[in-house]
């Protein structure tokens, strides 16, 4: 069987999962989440100054990267359309997914515009640069594409929700968690398609998962100054290797897909599985090492700041309200989305 044949065999499963998605996800309106009154007296001509919205620069970086990632939607659609085709249930799903994704940049941009958390001029220039480049991951087969989007939708959910918790604004938290809920629904659909694909052709799918875990990149690649923003986001613990390992690779790849328990693999797939398990372990060790190094340097910086007279601004721990994180599957079993 070739990858296209496997995708065709998954069509009935996709139809069932789309029905579940439509039954569980709820209609929502970006304008209802935006605190319009905060726009106040400022006009478009008011020059932006970061003192208007003091915050940890890492949180500002994360808002910037998360929104620009959503802005690249035309190219994600292009990739999905090319991989899965525009016909039957796959095309219908790609168009529905695109319509849902469109709300994400609308609500985040409107929120950032009225709260003035990001310089609107810099943001628009970055959007023009990002969308003019149109750089997005391009998986080599449709099965690789399924594995990639399963991982990426969950990564996006984690990044949006973690950012929302750190904004120190209930309206901002509501915006980011609403978007995160959508991403979670998308993840669940793709995750369960991969599960079904593993039952049909475990060897082909495990090789695709191995490639996608090895090459995985957050889709922000191509954003202006992406590396420095990504570093700030990682140091703040919003999204780093430790999070990637603990919240994606272990619960989804190892536990949910049960990669280590698969039977009847071809010799090539056996090798891919061994590389994959080794890779996941290495990511975990590197993530823990980096997180503890950054925690140490952050503690040292905080000590220095506390002794300085200008340590007025709240630190990250003080502004992050403890909010219980719902499990990935909670939204499938709960009645409110």
C-alpha dist (Å) from residue 108 to 41, 57, 118? 21, 17, 11
The answer to whether 207 contacts Fe ion (rule: CB under 5 A) is no
Q: Residue 8: name the closest of 138, 142, 147, 153 by CA.
A: 142
- In the complex with Fe ion, the residue whose CB is nearer, 182 or 201, is 182
d(CA 208, CA 100): 27
CB of 144 to Fe ion, least distance (A): 18
C-alpha dist (Å) from residue 59 to 55, 114, 240, 327? 7, 17, 14, 23
Stretch that binds Fe ion, among 1-9, 37-45, 70-78, 127-135 (CB under 5 A): 70-78
Task: Mention every residue, 6+ apart, whose C-beta is less than 8 A from residue 88.
Answer: 11
Angle at the Cα of 330 from the Cα atoms of 328 and 336, rounded to 5 degrees? 130
Stretch that binds Fe ion, among 16-24, 145-153, 227-235, 297-305 (CB under 5 A): 145-153
Among 56, 71, 101, 192, binds Fe ion (CB under 5 A): 101
- In the complex with Fe ion, the residue whose CB is nearer, 56 or 101, is 101
Stretch that binds Fe ion, among 182-190, 204-212, 241-249, 317-325 (CB under 5 A): 182-190
Stretch that binds Fe ion, among 81-89, 128-136, 149-157, 204-212 (CB under 5 A): 149-157
Q: Residue 40: name the closest of 53, 55, 54, 56 by CA.
A: 53
CB of 141 to Fe ion, least distance (A): 21
Among 186, 191, 211, 245, binds Fe ion (CB under 5 A): 186
- In the complex with Fe ion, the residue whose CB is nearer, 101 or 119, is 101
CB 221 within 8 A of CB 159: no
Q: In the structure encoding, which two tokens stand for residue 309, read together?
A: 């007279």
The SS3 call for residue 193 is helix
d(CA 217, CA 139): 11
d(CA 262, CA 186): 25
The answer to whether 183 contacts Fe ion (rule: CB under 5 A) is yes
CB of 153 to Fe ion, least distance (A): 5
CB of 186 to Fe ion, least distance (A): 4
Angle at the Cα of 290 from the Cα atoms of 286 and 293, rounded to 5 degrees? 145
CB of 179 to Fe ion, least distance (A): 6
Among 66, 80, 89, 104, binds Fe ion (CB under 5 A): 104
Stretch that binds Fe ion, among 63-71, 192-200, 249-257, 281-289 (CB under 5 A): 63-71
- In the complex with Fe ion, the residue whose CB is nearer, 153 or 331, is 153
The answer to whether 169 contacts Fe ion (rule: CB under 5 A) is no
CB of 268 to Fe ion, least distance (A): 32
- In the complex with Fe ion, the residue whose CB is nearer, 183 or 207, is 183
d(CA 135, CA 127): 12
Q: Which residues bind Fe ion (CB under 5 A)?
A: 70, 101, 104, 153, 183, 186
């Amino acid at each position: 069987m070739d990858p296209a044949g496997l995708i065709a065999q998954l069509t009935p499963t996709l139809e069932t999962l789309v029905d579940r998605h439509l039954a569980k996800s709820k209609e929502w309106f970006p304008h209802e989440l935006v605190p319009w009154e905060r726009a106040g007296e400022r006009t478009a001509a008011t020059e932006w100054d970061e003192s208007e919205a003091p915050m940890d620069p890492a949180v500002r970086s994360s808002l910037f990267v998360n929104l620009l990632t959503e802005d690249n939607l035309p190219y994600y659609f292009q990739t999905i359309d090319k991989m899965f085709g525009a016909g039957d249930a796959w095309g219908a799903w790609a168009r529905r997914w695109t319509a849902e994704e469109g709300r994400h940049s609308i609500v985040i941009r409107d929120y950032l515009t009225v709260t003035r958390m990001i310089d609107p001029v810099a943001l628009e220039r970055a959007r023009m640069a990002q969308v003019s480049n149109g750089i997005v991951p391009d998986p080599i087969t449709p099965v690789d594409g399924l594995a990639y989007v399963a991982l990426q939708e969950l990564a996006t959910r984690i990044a949006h929700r973690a950012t929302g918790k750190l904004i120190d604004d209930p309206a901002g938290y509501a915006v980011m968690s609403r978007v995160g809920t959508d991403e979670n629904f998308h993840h669940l659909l793709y995750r369960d398609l991969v599960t079904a694909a593993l039952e049909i052709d475990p060897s082909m799918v495990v090789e695709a998962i191995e490639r996608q875990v090895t090459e995985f990149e957050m889709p922000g690649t191509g954003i202006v100054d992406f590396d420095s923003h990504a570093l700030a986001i990682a140091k703040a613990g919003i999204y780093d290797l430790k999070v990637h390992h603990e919240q994606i690779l272990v619960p989804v790849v190892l536990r949910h897909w049960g990669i280590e328990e698969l039977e009847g693999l071809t010799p090539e797939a056996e090798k891919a599985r061994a590389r994959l398990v080794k890779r996941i372990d290495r990511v975990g060790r590197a993530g823990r090492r980096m997180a503890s190094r950054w925690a140490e340097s952050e503690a040292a910086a905080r000590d220095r700041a506390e002794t300085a007279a200008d340590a007025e601004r709240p630190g990250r721990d003080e502004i992050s309200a403890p909010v219980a994180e719902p499990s990935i599957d909670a939204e499938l079993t709960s009645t409110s989305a």
